[in-house]
Every structure is written in structure tokens, then in C-alpha cells.
């Protein structure tokens, strides 16, 4: 049987490096509760990302929830994108806020700032935008809109670790940026996530929220248990050392795909220096063509994935349907091809040769 080629494969550091860090856990018997590995990871993230506050969480979804809570968003509308993973929407609903969808730019696939302003009402309190596939939103336009209408800005930057602009991480934008450290991401801790902010008061609220709302062991606000364990932090510390090599190898595989798929449409990246090569999305002429290509790839044990399908404004658990024709159209036609730090030239050729026969 041919080896299975999945849409991604998690990077793993040398086992001996990971086990060496775990030795500290056995020595001090501290596995969680903001131990030395967790605080070490946060300090390393601050240094690498040029961030003021990195607050690690148990996953990326709860990081968005924490951001909503820290900003005091309750019983209000949050304007967001319909083109994202469902976790973005889940966090809004779980925090008892109302999602209002602004359609996306057909070129960048990020939320369209012009569509944001059309959706603002007296109940609007925040914009939750997504840097889709690590592609930076039009942050300047979003900031202007937010200031004009006194709105908070949260960036779901789950896809954006390793994306830099002007020498600093894209996590510096917005009141709070969040990230996922899930095993499928460019940088991961197996399970995990983080919030990033330059605001001291917000950082304090975020740290309290992840630890039951406690401040010096006294309940101060509503919170939850969103702490990252020492075991996950150890994996993060190991993986961070290899990020440069990871990005270089993903960049090389992306260049191979670009050279071999000249006829397929891809998202337009507004700032090339921002890219972290987290995904390789291609947009087909029709959903029928996408399904035909997918079936042909699956027949050779190659498994791409439909990110992000369906468009979130169409999911069945929403009380009110909202029209977002651009997102709905793109969601039906976009497919992410296999890409990881281990992607080889032969694998890229195997994938692209099948696609080129179909398009």
C-alpha cells in the first residue's frame, strides 16, 4: 500500500531534547500551575516575537474566549469573518455574544474592511478578524474603523505564528491577538494557544482568566481553567529552537508548488514578508472541479483538506442566516494541499501531476 500523504504532518524535535526538559518535571514534581517551563516558554516567546505579554493557554479556542472576556464584551455584537475555522465562531457564541458576518476580500480572503463598516450598529462592540492562512488583514483600515466607531479589535492569528512585518510579529496588532499552538500548526505545543497584548491591564485580566479568575489565590473575577501544562510547554520550548529551519523548508516546498501549478488561483498576499507558509491553498474554477481533483488525489492515498468549508454564515446552529456571497463561493472552491516540514520534491510532483491532468 502507498504511504498516506496528509494535508499536514506535525514537526517533532529530537526525543532526547524533549525528554531532557521533562527531567525538570520529575525533579520538582510540578506538572502545571504556571511552572518554570511555562514561564520559560512565555519569556522565549516574548523575545522571539518582540511581544510585551505572551499569555499561554490550553488551546487556541479558549484564547479567543479569554480575549472576549478580558475586553468585557457581553450581550453585544462582534463583527467577524465567515471564512475561518469554526472555533472563531464558537468562541463568540460561547461568550454569549452575537456574531455579525462581514464578507471577505476575494483576493486576500481576509475580512473586507468596507464590509465591516456596513455592519456596524449601536450593539457593535468589537471586530474579530482573522489573518487567513497567515495572510495579514488590512490592519490599518481596520484600526481606522475601530477608532472611528470606538470598537475593540481582536485578531484571531491562529495561522500566523512566524509571520513578521517590519521586523516584528503580526501579533502586535489589535487590542489582543490570539494564536493556536495545535499540533497541525507551524509552531505547536501539541495542544495549546496564547493571547498577546501590549496592554498591562489586559495582560493581568488574561492571566487571571486562565487560572479560575484568581489573583494571589483569591477569586477576583470570573475565570476558567485554561492553563498550559509543563509537558506542553516543554514541547514548545523544543520546537521554538527549530522554527527558522521549519519556515525555510515550508518556503521551499511552497516555491515548488508555485512553479508546478501556474494555472491555479491562489490567495493574494498583501505583504510577502509576512508569510509563514503555513498552508498551500488553491482555488478551483468550480466545486465540481475541486471534488474531481480531490477524488483523484484520494485514489492515490493523498489527502488534501477543504479549509474553510462551509462558510461559517451557513452553519446550521445559527439562529439567523446572513448572506456572504464571496465567502460562500470561495469556501466551495478552495482546497489546501499537503504541506509540512517534511514535504519532498517528489511528493509535490505527485500531487501536482494529478491536479494538472484535471485542470
- Whether residues 167 and 265 share a domain: the answer is no
Q: How confident is the model at residue 3 (pLDDT cuts 50, 70, 90)?
A: low
CA angle 242, 306, 128 (to 5 degrees): 75
Task: Render pLDDT for 208-246 as a digit per residue (tens, 0 to 9).
Answer: 999 999 988 899 999 999 999 999 999 999 999 999 999
What is the C-alpha end-to-end distance of the chain, expressed in Å? 27
Confidence check: pLDDT of 135 > 70:
yes
Query: Do 155 and 136 meet the contact criterion of CB atoms below 8 Å apart?
Result: no
C-alpha cell at 34: 504556571
- Whether residues 193 and 335 share a domain: the answer is no
Average pLDDT over residues 48-69: 98
Quick one: the chain helix, strand, coil %, rounded to 5? 40, 15, 40
- Residue 251 structural domain: 5-9+242-358
Query: What phi, psi does 82 have (nearest 5°)?
Result: -85, -5
Query: Do 264 and 282 meet the contact criterion of CB atoms below 8 Å apart?
Result: yes
Q: How far apart are CA 91 and CA 180, in angstroms?
A: 13
Task: Render pLDDT for 136-187 as a digit per residue (tens, 0 to 9).
Answer: 999 999 999 999 999 999 999 999 999 999 888 999 999 999 999 999 999 9
pLDDT at residue number 305 = 98
Of the candidates 239, 261, 296, which is a domain's last residue?
Answer: 239
- Whether residues 206 and 255 share a domain: the answer is no
Run of H or E including 49: helix 36-49
- Whether residues 184 and 38 share a domain: the answer is yes
Q: How far apart are CA 267 and CA 314, in angstroms?
A: 22
Confidence check: pLDDT of 340 > 50:
yes
Q: How many domains does the chain have?
A: 2
Q: Report DSSP state, residue 33.
A: S
- Whether residues 299 and 191 share a domain: the answer is no
Of the candidates 239, 268, 286, which is a domain's last residue?
Answer: 239
pLDDT at residue number 270 = 79
pLDDT at residue number 320 = 86
- Whether residues 335 and 347 share a domain: the answer is yes
Average pLDDT over residues 34-56: 97
Of the candidates 216, 239, 262, which is a domain's last residue?
Answer: 239
C-alpha cell at 19: 525528554
Q: How far apart are CA 230 and CA 244, in angstroms?
A: 24
CATH number of the domain at 71, please.
Answer: 3.40.640.10
Q: Is the pTM value of this prediction over 0.85?
A: yes
pLDDT at residue number 102 = 98
3-state secondary structure of 50: coil
Q: Report DSSP state, residue 206.
A: H
pLDDT at residue number 327 = 98
Count other C-beta atoms under 10 Å from residue 337's C-beta.
26
- Whether residues 211 and 262 share a domain: the answer is no
Task: Tell me which residue of 267, 235, 214 sits closest to 20, measured CA to CA.
Answer: 235
- Whether residues 220 and 290 share a domain: the answer is no
- Whether residues 317 and 228 share a domain: the answer is no
Percent of the chain with pLDDT over 90: 94
pLDDT at residue number 1 = 44
Confidence check: pLDDT of 355 > 70:
yes
CATH number of the domain at 352, please.
Answer: 3.90.1150.10
Average pLDDT over residues 89-110: 98
Alpha helices in 126-242 (DSSP H): 139-149, 200-210, 230-240
- Whether residues 52 and 194 share a domain: the answer is yes
Query: What phi, psi does 338 have (nearest 5°)?
Result: -55, 130
Query: Do 304 and 337 meet the contact criterion of CB atoms below 8 Å apart?
Result: yes
Beta strand residue intervals within 157-243, DSSP E: 164-165, 168-169, 176-180, 193-197, 214-215, 218-219
Q: How confident is the model at residue 2 (pLDDT cuts 50, 70, 90)?
A: low
Cα separations in angstroms, 339 against 11, 56, 96, 106, 255: 11, 26, 36, 23, 11
How do 281-283 and 218-219 pair as beta strands? unpaired
Task: Render pLDDT for 287-336 as a digit per residue (tens, 0 to 9).
Answer: 999 999 999 999 999 999 999 999 999 999 998 889 999 999 999 999 99
- Whether residues 124 and 249 share a domain: the answer is no
- Whether residues 286 and 183 share a domain: the answer is no
Average pLDDT over residues 13-33: 95
Rounded to the nearest integer, the mean pLDDT of the chain is: 96
Amino acid at each position: 500500500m502507498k504511504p498516506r500523504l496528509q494535508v499536514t504532518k506535525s514537526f517533532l524535535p529530537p526525543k532526547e531534547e524533549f525528554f531532557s526538559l521533562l527531567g525538570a518535571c520529575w525533579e520538582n514534581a510540578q506538572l502545571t500551575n504556571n511552572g518554570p517551563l511555562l514561564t520559560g516558554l512565555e519569556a522565549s516567546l516574548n523575545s522571539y516575537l518582540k511581544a510585551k505579554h505572551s499569555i499561554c493557554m490550553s488551546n487556541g479556542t479558549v484564547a479567543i474566549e479569554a480575549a472576549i472576556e478580558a475586553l468585557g464584551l457581553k450581550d453585544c455584537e462582534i463583527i467577524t469573518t465567515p471564512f475561518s475555522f469554526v472555533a472563531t465562531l464558537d468562541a463568540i457564541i460561547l461568550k454569549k455574544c452575537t456574531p455579525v458576518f462581514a464578507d471577505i476580500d476575494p483576493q486576500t480572503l481576509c475580512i473586507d474592511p468596507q464590509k465591516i463598516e456596513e455592519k456596524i450598529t449601536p450593539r457593535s462592540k468589537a471586530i474579530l478578524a482573522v489573518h487567513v492562512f497567515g495572510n495579514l488583514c488590512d490592519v490599518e483600515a481596520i484600526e481606522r474603523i475601530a477608532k472611528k466607531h470606538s470598537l475593540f479589535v481582536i485578531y484571531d492569528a491562529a495561522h500566523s505564528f512566524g509571520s513578521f512585518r517590519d521586523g516584528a510579529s503580526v501579533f502586535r496588532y489589535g487590542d489582543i491577538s490570539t494564536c493556536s499552538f495545535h499540533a497541525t500548526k507551524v509552531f505547536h505545543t501539541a495542544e495549546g494557544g496564547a493571547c498577546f497584548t501590549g496592554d498591562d491591564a489586559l495582560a493581568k485580566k488574561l492571566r487571571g482568566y486562565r487560572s479560575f479568575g484568581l489573583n494571589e489565590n483569591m477569586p477576583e473575577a470570573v475565570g476558567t481553567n485554561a492553563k498550559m501544562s509543563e509537558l506542553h510547554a516543554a514541547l514548545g520550548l523544543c520546537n521554538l529552537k527549530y522554527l527558522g529551519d521549519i519556515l525555510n523548508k515550508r518556503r521551499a516546498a511552497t516555491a515548488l508548488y508555485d512553479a508546478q501549478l501556474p494555472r491555479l488561483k491562489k490567495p493574494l498576499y498583501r505583504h510577502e514578508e509576512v508569510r509563514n507558509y503555513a498552508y498551500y491553498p488553491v482555488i478551483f474554477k468550480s466545486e465540481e472541479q475541486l471534488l474531481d481533483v480531490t477524488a483523484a488525489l484520494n485514489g492515490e492515498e493523498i489527502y488534501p483538506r477543504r479549509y474553510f468549508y462551509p462558510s461559517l454564515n451557513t452553519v446550521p446552529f445559527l439562529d439567523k442566516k446572513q448572506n456572504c456571497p464571496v465567502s460562500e463561493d470561495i469556501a466551495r472552491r478552495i482546497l489546501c494541499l499537503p504541506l509540512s516540514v517534511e514535504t519532498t520534491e517528489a511528493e509535490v510532483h505527485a500531487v501536482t501531476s494529478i491536479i494538472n491532468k484535471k485542470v
